[in-house]
Amino acid sequence: MRFEYRGFSIECRFTVSEAEFIGQATVSRPSTGEEPHIAFESDELKSFPTQQQAIDYARVWSEMWCDERLNSGLKKTSVPARRRRQDK
Instruction: List, for residues 38-81, the tens digit of each pLDDT value.
Output: 788 888 889 999 999 999 999 999 999 999 988 876 554 444 44
Q: Give the per-residue pLDDT at 36.
A: 64
Burial class (CB in 10 A: 0-12, 13-18, 19+), 33: exposed
Q: Give the per-residue pLDDT at 79.
A: 47
Q: What angle do CA 59, 30, 14 make, to 5 degrees?
A: 25
Burial class (CB in 10 A: 0-12, 13-18, 19+), 71: exposed
Count, in order, helices (H) and strands (E) of the chain.
1, 6
**pTM of model > 0.75:** no
Q: In terms of pLDDT, which residue wins out, 23 or 43?
A: 23
CATH code reported for the domain at 2-87: 3.30.160
